[in-house]
Structure 1
Amino acid sequence: MKLKHNFITTIVALGICLLLTSCGDEPKPKPEAFLRLDYNMGDYATYNNNCPYIFDYNTLAAVKDKGNCNFTIQYPKMKATIFLTYKPVNNNINLLLRDAEKLTYDHVIKADDISSQPFLNPANKVYGMFSQVGGDAATNAQFYVTDSTRHFLTGSMYFYAKPNFDSVMPAAAYIKEDMRTIMESLRWK
């Protein structure tokens, strides 16, 4: 009987030792992660006022007239803004194009890559370039459109925070699509 008791005690002690030593990995902290952000798809409406152009915009954003046919399109929940800047063409198209390209390539210091895609809409005489800037640059997307003779419009996206591409990527992707919609729907009056 004493042998049976010692055997059971030994088995229990051995079981406890196995349990204590089998979980020998030290806990490791989890890597930093970012929130998953999903945004509702907005409806689009045409913005039309006394300026020489009209465009479609996301109704979830707020369009603010800054005068001289310049606008901001604000996304308060994303802490971002699209800036639209209009300039008439007065035999200075080369200067306006150079300035628009310079604005894009000023971000090359912080950018991982810059890709540009031409835009052509001959039916509405809208021609331009859409540029995406990868990395921690101040702006993630920019565009310009012109009719080459009378009108020139630039658009750029900025966030109200220090650039961190990983954290702004969902919002940047959403707003890039809105910028494409603005550019593709733009019509000169």
Structure 2
Amino acid sequence: MKSNVYMFLLGTMCLLLLSCGEEKLPKPRAMLRLNYPAPVYEDLDMDCSYTVKKNKMVQIKNAKYTRPCWYNMYYPDLKATVYLSHYEIKNNLDSLLRDAQNLTMEHHIKADGIKNKEHINEEEKVYGTLYIVSGNAASPYQFYVTDSIKHFVSGSVYFDARPNYDSILPAANYLQNDLMHFMETIQWKN
């Protein structure tokens, strides 16, 4: 009987010694790492009252509406579109600014936050704001640029996917740089 107890204790100790080791934990789910090519910019000279530099990956498409200088910049690799609209200022700058800001604020229901980056270039007479909408809002970016006398260009970014902030963040960051470049390089023709 004593030998059975000793055998049991010896077996238990061996089992404990063998089971002591590195604990196995499940690995976390991997996230897809998205890398996009460095942007290469070229002139975009539409039949509009301004010129701008655009990313070469962009495909220009006519807007759904047939208004002059309304077009879409489509990013096939990002599955995103920047919808651009040009308005001629006719004593309505306050109204255009209010509309641009209200369009951004419509996203506050789903947004975690809205920040803005102002752009001012006194020399070229370019004044604008980029609104950065974080969270699962439909549009992560809204912006406008104006000379405050004749021209007002507004833009909105939408992805061809259900809003999921974490999933679109790499593409959204890439687009933010392009939008800032757009605002920095726009020049009025007249």
CA distance in structure 2 between the partners assigned to 1:65 and 1:172 by the alignment? 23
Q: For residue 92 of structure 2, what is the aligned residue in structure 1?
A: 92
In the TM superposition, what are the counterparts of 1:5-154 in structure 2 within 5 Å? 15=14, 18-19=17-18, 21-22=19-20, 28-66=25-63, 67=66, 68-154=68-154
Q: For residue 5 of structure 1, what is the aligned residue in structure 2?
A: none
Q: Secondary structure at the match of 2:51?
A: strand
Change beyond 3 A, Cα 1:146–1:24: closer
Q: For residue 169 of structure 1, what is the aligned residue in structure 2?
A: 169
CA distance in structure 2 between the partners assigned to 1:42 and 1:134 by the alignment? 23
CA distance in structure 2 between the partners assigned to 1:32 and 1:92 by the alignment? 52
Q: Percent identity?
A: 41
Q: Shift of the alpha carbon at 1:12?
A: 8.8
Note the residue ranges of structure 1 that are not aligned, 5 or more in a row: 1-9
Code of the residue aligned with 1:106 in structure 2: it is E
Code of the residue aligned with 2:167 in structure 1: it is S
Q: Report whether the alignment pairs 1:181 with 2:181.
A: yes
Residues 43-83 of structure 1: CA deviation (Å, up to 9, x unaligned): 10010022101110000121223341012111112111111
Q: Secondary structure at the match of 1:163?
A: coil
Code of the residue aligned with 1:169 in structure 2: it is L
CA distance in structure 2 between the partners assigned to 1:131 and 1:31 by the alignment? 34
CA distance in structure 2 between the partners assigned to 1:80 and 1:154 by the alignment? 16
CA distance in structure 2 between the partners assigned to 1:33 and 1:165 by the alignment? 17
Residues 104-137 of structure 1: CA deviation (Å, up to 9, x unaligned): 1111111111111221111111111111111111
Code of the residue aligned with 1:18 in structure 2: it is L
Q: Secondary structure at the match of 1:170?
A: helix
CA distance in structure 2 between the partners assigned to 1:83 and 1:30 by the alignment? 41
Q: Secondary structure at the match of 2:128?
A: strand
Q: Secondary structure at the match of 1:107?
A: helix
Q: Shift of the alpha carbon at 1:41?
A: 0.7
Q: Which moved more, 1:66-75 or 1:46-55?
A: 66-75
Code of the residue aligned with 2:54 in structure 1: it is Y
TM-score (norm 2): 0.85
Regions of 4+ moved over 6 Å: 10-13
Change beyond 3 A, Cα 1:51–1:22: same
Q: Shift of the alpha carbon at 1:13?
A: 8.8
Q: Shift of the alpha carbon at 1:31?
A: 3.5
